[in-house]
Structure 1
């Protein structure tokens, strides 16, 4: 056990109490003693006890009576009975009343230690079993597409849309800030599709040198260029009958965009250096953190390819816009890292720590939250994540967050202004200052937004 285990010894013989106390302390246990069952029951009610070694024949309250009474007490101790007058019937009766094991006196010292170690291992396995069951139950409640966690309205709508498109080979464009889980959505769509048994290949379009992109995508034949000493399949052929996920597709150079458009339209590819084309059956899922409409306007992305990719758009909101998902995400990540680090005693986040997590702006989104909680599980010595286990940057007040500013006023009018102004600033930030798109996001008219942006400074309430 990670913490010092406490053993309660209940025996009317003082010598036995002294001997067991010395033995168990030498083995690293903390020990409490009681001379009879009634005194033991009081200690069990008022102390955290892991194990009980209890004699059967004692004055005031014997061992069997203690066992029966202990059922009514809220405790998690493992009870082991001892007796110099033990019979098979006595042992069976003790087990029926909830004892874990029975030791006959006189016993060897190592016999007691062995029984305790076995009980300790049993308790560890029991806790881990409960821990895993809670994890599975929690995941079943909140897990959606590709194992994503999200009970908010926005995420539930995304899961439903992805379920619909998964059944067809429609091209999907997944948009959202870095760290929001775009690849998880793509994997989820693949897993729910008729292609689930076939390959899912993911490639970051910005991570391939421009002079190698064509070969990576379409393959090459021997002798096509210096170093091409054999024929090689490209990603499209490798993903045949499956799904190819093109992450950060906005990074693709224009020369490859033209060839990608042809693949989407004709479903055939030509290896570099080849004279004939090959048919492929690949579903394309693409993702980007860029605003592709703006990239099209600036001439950095082909308009025809954009429309071919954007048959269905799934937009993942940033974590700051779905605060309701932070608690279940915290539970999920804490459980995940507690298991991987063999820390099953860690149960979650303390209220003060959770408050810090709820009020952070999370520029790195879910990926940032995951990294923060991995660090916290590693550092904590408690069963709950404490504020001290979180990075110092989370301790500062969240600039411009209405939760902070609302505390400074009791006026409904000022409170409404605080929230309204914060939402406007957020919308302008998310849209990069595009007022038309910000008005759409806020669900107000463009003139109305312009009017609110021109409010006098004293209406901003410090924002």
Structure 2
């Protein structure tokens, strides 16, 4: 083997494997002029020894050679490195030979004699392919880091409040602790419960869920604990309850605040003793169930009003995860919108790219009484109605606020001073825009429709540091 140069990894490197000295010399001279670091080997065995020392970017290899021919070299080389691009050369080229070489992992096959431009073109194409592969790997890594940073299960958010939720949920997922998830309707309580289940040691078994407010009181006990044959009219066979179905897994008691008080006593016993008794039976059986409860109601107030047992509340309230409403984390809205665009593009066969700025401004200012569920429905409707690849303001329409909600002006301002109200409005809008853009002042100024210097001046006046 003849060393023409010592490879420097800052430059692309090429190994030329050919038993013809003139061919090696010609290719080496040409490639050096183009900025490649080049080494040569006079046969396949020497080429393999060279590959053991340096993982070359590209290999130009002849087919017909003594000691080890090109096809044998190709087999050995692919075992040594799957990142090296190998280009085969031969004066005895046939279609079958080329196909065999490609099956063994060759990038391309060139027939001798060839023009120097042909070699350059093949290597440039290979370099472009490698560049695209590297970019693809980088993008996947960025997506992986993004998902690790902004995702927990199927939940997606980047606001500090939700990041705290993700962190707490990830911690509690590893233990058998009872969890109480509270939040307004549509904030994603069941998604959090499922994410906790999937992140925990019981993930191999499916989570079981029951809506305590969606089943008639007379049937809820049977649904939860099961019943024996003949336990009541219509019980023509025995039935397993959901606690038994969730044995060794997780049971979500959704809308636990709707559970009747008499049944709360029986649920408390199950949580304390880890055993259930089916309706119509006298014998209890042990169950190993991890319980997660969720509610949109104010349980402490229900306890005070006598509508919910205090002892059950404290038994459920070991770890509480409180989900903030969407209106309190508007910085999550652009991220959620992009997620829903990707979701509905696939479901509806659309190719929507994004949302126009004035439409996004509308979404950021909406109160979202239905929270993330309302946003998802609004996005689906907008994508059904849209024509182009950008969602416009006209694609969105919202029902009026709930009747008992205060008018926005009463929520923001006290007193009657117009000057003071203007200051409070500007302060609130600047903070909202900065949160929505993660502190990017240029983008925030664009959302606020003011100049960048004007934004900086107002931030200083209102002592805003975001």
TM-score range, shorter chain: 0.5 to 0.7
1:357 maps to 363
Deviation string 1:396-422 (CA, Å, 9 cap, x unpaired) is xx95269999xxx996x5455458999
| 1:380 pairs with one of 386, 390, 398 | 386
CA deviations 1:228-265 (Å, max 9, x no partner) are 12221100000000000001000000111000000000
How far, CA to CA, are the matches of 2:237 and 2:393 in structure 1? Answer: 57
Query: In 2, distance between residues paired with 1:94 and 1:382?
Result: 43
User: Deviation at 1:222?
Assistant: 1.1
TM-score (norm 2): 0.58
Shift of 1:184: 0.6
Matches within 5 A, 1:88-167: 140=147, 143-167=150-174
Alignment CA distance shift 1:197-1:137 (3 Å): closer
Q: 1:225 to 1:414 in 2, by over 3 A?
A: closer
In the alignment, structure 1 residue 348 sits paired with structure 2 residue 348: no
The answer for the alignment partner of 1:249 in structure 2 is 256
Distance 1:274 1:291, change over 3 A: same
Residue 408 (structure 2) aligns with: 400
Q: How many residues align?
A: 299
Q: Structure 2 CA distance, aligned partners of 1:94 and 1:357?
A: 53
Structure 1's 273 and 403: CA in aligned 2 closer, same or farther, altered over 3 A?
A: closer
Structure 1 pair 392–269 and aligned structure 2 pair: CA distance change class (3 A): closer
The structure-2 alpha-carbon separation of the partners of 1:419 and 1:234, relative to structure 1 and needing over 3 Å to count, comes to farther
Distance (whole Å) between structure 2 residues aligned to residue 401 and residue 374 of structure 1 = 30
Contiguous gaps of at least 5 residues in structure 2: 1-113, 126-135, 430-466
Secondary structure of 2:153 counterpart: helix
Q: CA deviation at 1:198?
A: 1.7
1:190–1:243: 8 Å Cα contact kept in structure 2?
yes
Q: Give yes or no for the alignment of 1:215 onto 2:222.
A: yes
Cα distance in 2 between the residues matched to 1:239 and 1:308: 19
Question: Deviation string for 1:178-200 (max 9, x for gaps)?
Answer: 00000011001111111111230
Q: Distance in 2 between matches of 1:421 and 1:336?
A: 32
**Deviation at 1:144?**
2.2
Distance 1:394 1:93, change over 3 A: farther
Question: Contact 2:150–2:163 at 8 Å: present in 1 too?
Answer: no
Paired residues of 1:247 and 1:287 also in contact (CA < 8 A): yes
What are the equivalent positions in structure 2 for 1:43-442 lying under 5 Å apart?
A: 140=147, 143-343=150-350, 345-391=351-397, 393=399, 399-400=407-408, 414-415=421-422, 417-418=424-425
Give, in whole Å, the separation in 2 of the partners of 1:297 and 1:181: 27
- Distance (Å, rounded) in 2 between the aligned partners of 1:347 and 1:318: 27
Q: Cα 1:388–1:96, aligned 2, differ >3 Å: closer, same or farther? A: farther
User: How far does the alpha carbon of each residue in 1:333-357 deviate from its partner, in whole angstroms, 9 at most, with x for none?
Assistant: 11110111111x3111111110110
Q: How far did 1:145 drift?
A: 2.1
Contact 1:359 1:401 in 2 (8 A): no
Q: Tell me the TM-score normalized by structure 1.
A: 0.58
Q: Is the 8 A contact 1:243 1:282 kept in 2?
A: yes
Residue 206 of structure 1 aligns to a residue whose secondary structure is: coil
Give deviations 1:37-96, integer Å, cap 9, x for gaps. xxxxxxxxxxxxxxxxxxxxxxxxxxxxxxxxxxxxxxxxxxxxxxxxxxx99x989986
User: Where do 4+ consecutive residues of structure 1 move more than 6 Å?
Assistant: 91-99, 132-135, 401-405, 419-422
Larger Rg: 2
Counterpart-to-counterpart distance in 2, 1:356 and 1:394: 14
User: Secondary structure at the residue paired with 1:285?
Assistant: strand
**C-alpha distance in structure 2 between counterparts of 1:208 and 1:266, whole Å:** 25
Q: CA deviation at 1:270?
A: 0.4
Matched residue, 1:425: none
Secondary structure of 2:147's aligned partner: helix
Contact 1:139 1:149 in 2 (8 A): no
| C-alpha distance in 1 between matches for 2:422 and 2:178 | 44
When the two chains are superposed, the root-mean-square deviation of aligned CA atoms in Å is: 3.5
2: CA distance, partners of 1:370 / 1:93 = 54
Q: Distance in 1 between matches of 2:336 and 2:163?
A: 14
Take 1:350 and 1:384, find their aligned partners in 2: how far apart are those partners?
6
State the alpha-carbon separation in 1 of the partners of residues 235 and 301 from structure 2: 38
Hey, what's the Cα distance between the residues in 2 that align with 1:311 and 1:161?
13
Measured at CA, do residues 340 and 277 of structure 1 come closer, stay the same or move farther in structure 2, by a change above 3 Å?
same
